[in-house]
Amino acid sequence: MAGRRTQILAIDAGGTMTDTFIIDDKGEFVVGKAQTTPGDESVGLMQSAVDALEFWDMTVEESFPQLLTGVYSGTAMLNRLVSRKGRKVGLIVNKGMEDFHRMGRAIQSYLGYSYSDRLHLNTHRYDAPLVPRTSTRGVTERIDLFGHVVIPLYEHEVEPAVKELVEQGVESIVISLLHSYKNPTHERRVRDIVKETLQKLNKNMPVFASVDYYPVRKETHRTNTAIIEAYAADPSRRTLELVNEKMQAKGSKFDIRVMASHGGTISIRANELARTLVSGPIGGVVGAKYLGEQLEIKNIVCSDIGGTSFDIALITQGDFTIDTSPNIARLVLSLPLVAMDSVGAGTGSFVRVDPYTKSIILGPDSAGYRVGVCYPEGGTDIITVSDCHVVLGLINPNNFLGGQIILDKERAYQAVKQQLADPLGLSVEAASYGVIELLESQLRNYLESLVMGKGYSPTQFSCFSYGGGGPLHTAGYVKGLGFEDVLVPAWAAGFSAFGCGAADFEYRYDMTLDGNVPNGATNEQKEEVAINLQGAWTELSEKVQQEFEKNGFSGDEVQLRLYVSMQYQGQLNDIEIEAPFAEATSAADWDKLTGAFEDTYARVYAKTARSPELGYSVTGAIVRGSVDVPKPKIPEEPYVGKEPAQEAFQGKRRVYWAGEWFQANIWEMESLQAGNVVTGLAVIESPATTFVVPPGFEAVLDTHRIFHLHEMAN
C-alpha cells in the first residue's frame, strides 16, 4: 500500500503456529499466521510475515527495509533442552561434590507429575542429568557461606581435570563452586586456568563460570542454569543468528531482539541467553500488562490457549510477579521468570479413552503444528481437540489459516467415531461435545484455583483471553466465575507477538546479598547495609551498560531502575521492590527503603501482616536498564452502532451445541465495527482464529477492536 511505512516486527514462533505482528508509523497493525517449521524457524517466520503483509498489499521486500526494530520469541532453545539434544558439557565443581548435579533437588523427582502420582513414590523418577557423572571433575577448595576462604584453591588440580574432559570430547566447560556468589575469586581463577589450558591444547570451546552469569545462592539452581547456558542456550544462538540473517537478506538493518524471561527483550548478542528459554507465553503477559495500562485496567487474569498448552498469569495493581527460582523442563533454575502456570491442554491436545475406566483423557501431549487427524494427509493417528471442533462445526474446515490449509472433516468424523464415540457408546457429536465440555471445565478449574489460591476473588479481575484457541473456549472457561469483564482482542491469535512488540528493550541483572538490619538498629548499621547495597547496584549497572554498548547505545540513552529483594528476618520468601531513590548512601536512604517495603508488603499480603519488630533482611540487588524503542498503539475507531453491517454476515452454518444442531450465525471479524453486538449462538471468524459466542452470551466490539464477552441475564 503506497505511503505506508512499517516500523515494528514482532514474531512468536510457538509449538504449533508462528504469529507475526507488524506495526506501521501510525500505530496500525496487521497479524499474520503460518505453521511453525521446527527444522528452521526462519521459514515459518517468512511465511507468517508474507501472510500479514498481504492485508496491506505489501511484500516482505518492500516492508523489511523500512523496519526500525524486530522482536522474536521462539521454542528452538526449549525444544533442544526438552529433547536433550544439546552440547556435550563438562562440569568442574568442588572435590567431594561431584554428584550434586546428578542428585539435584528432591522436587526434581516429581516435577510435572499429577497430584496422584506425587503421592506414590514408586512413580517418581529423575531425568538423566544434563552432565553425566563421568563428565564431572572436582577440584579442592572451599569458601564458606560468609565468603571466607577456608581451603585455598589447589590450582594444580585444574589442568588435569580439563585435559580429561577434553579427551572425553566435551564441547564446553561449566564451572560452579560453592558460595562463589559471596566470593568469586576461586571460581574466576579456575575459569582463567581452564581457558589457559584449552589454549595450550589448541582447543577452542566456550567456558562458563556460574558467577559470571548467575551470581546467586542455591548451588543446584545456579549450576543448572549455567549448564543450560552451555548446553542449550549458546548453541541456539546460531538459530537466532539464522533468523537475523534471513531478515537482513530481505532488507532489515537491525539485529533482532529476543523476548526474555523477566518480561523485557534482549539482544541475540546478550551474555545470558538462557533468559530467552521461555519467551512466547511471556509475550502474552507483557502484552496484557501494556494493554491494561492503555485501558487503565490494573487487575488482570491472563489466559492463553495455543495448540499445546493453556498458560495463565495474574497482573495485580498493574504489575506481574517475578519468580526467581522457576522450574523448566523438570529442572530448578536461577532465572527471573514472569510467574505463570502452564498446563498441557490446548486445541492440539490428544484425546484418548482410558480402556479401564472409559473416561476421557486430554493430553498432556499434543499434535503441535499437525493439528489433528483432520490435517491434510492425516496429521496424526490420534484424534485431537481440533478434530472435535471440526466435527461440531465450530471450525470451518475451508477457512483454516484463511483457507491456506483445507481440513478433512470426514476423516475427523470417522476417527472420532472409532477412537472416542464407539468405545463410549455415544454419538460422534455427543462425544465431541463432551471433549469440549471437559476441556473447558478443566480450564475453568485451573483459572479459579490460580485466582483463589492467591487470596483473591475473580470479581476483582478482568480476564483477557487470547491465543489462537482462546476465543474458541473463552465463554466455556469463564462461565460462572464472575469476572468484572472478559476481553477478547480482535488480534487474539497474535497477542503474544503483540506483547513482544510492546516489551521494553531491557536487561536485568541479579546478585545475592546478605544484609540484616535489626529492629531499632543504629544509623551506622543502616548505613553499612545501604552502602553494600549501592556497591552491588553499581556493579550490576556496569554489566547492564556493557550489554547495551553491544547494540550501539551510549550510557546516556539507558534508563536504570534499581530494585532490592527484602523480607522480614526469619521469613522464607522475599519480595521485590523498586528503590525510591537513585543512590543509597545513608541511614536516611535505608529508612526510605524500608518504608517502600512496608507499603509493598501491605499491598501483596495485608497491613496486619506487617512485622517490623522482626527486623529486615536484604537478600538481593537487582538492576533493570532499558532504552526507548517504538511500541504499538492501541486501535482507535469511531463508534458505529449496535447493528453489524450486512457485509459482515457470512450466512449460517450447522453447529452442534449442548445436544442439539443449531443454525449458527457466521460473522466476519474484520468487517465488524465499533459498537456492534453479536449474540449467541454465533461464530465470528478470522483467518487466524475463531471466536465462539454461545447461547446466552453476547460479544460487544469496542472502539479499540476488543470484544467484551457478557453473560446475558435470563
Contact indicator for 515, 529 with CB cutoff of 8 Å: yes
Out of 3.40.50.10190, 3.10.350.10, 3.30.420.260, 3.40.50.300, the CATH code matching 280-342+443-502 is: 3.30.420.260
Q: Which CATH architecture has domain 6-80+237-251?
A: 2-Layer Sandwich (3.30)
Residue in 403, 289, 221, 278 with CA at minimum distance from that of residue 15: 278
Residue in 24, 10, 28, 11 with CA at minimum distance from that of residue 66: 24
Spatial distance between the Cα atoms of 160 and 459, rounded to a whole number of angstroms? 64
- State residue 348's pLDDT score: 83
- DSSP assignment, residue 171? S
Sheet holding 649-657, edge to edge: 649-657, 660-668, 682-685, 690-693
Domain with CATH 3.40.50 in the chain: 84-234
- Please give the C-alpha separations between residue 610 and each of 545, 592, 616, in angstroms, as whole numbers: 36, 16, 11
- State residue 172's pLDDT score: 95
- Element (H or E) spanning 655, and its range? strand 649-657
What DSSP assignment string belongs to 295-331?
HT---EEEEEE-SS-EEEEEEETTEE-EESS-EETTE
Residue in 334, 304, 340 with CA at minimum distance from that of residue 489: 304
Q: Which residues of 443-458 are buried (b: 16+ CB within 10 A; e: fewer)?
A: bbebbbebbeeeeeeb
CATH of domain 506-627: 3.30.1490
167 Cβ partners below 8 Å, 6+ apart? Answer: none
Domain with CATH 3.30.420.260 in the chain: 280-342+443-502
- State residue 454's pLDDT score: 80
- The topology (CATH level 3) of 84-234 is Rossmann fold (3.40.50)
Spatial distance between the Cα atoms of 260 and 278, rounded to a whole number of angstroms? 7
In the predicted model, residues of the chain with pLDDT beneath 70 are 1-3, 15-16, 27, 39, 114, 280, 368-369, 378-379, 401-403, 714
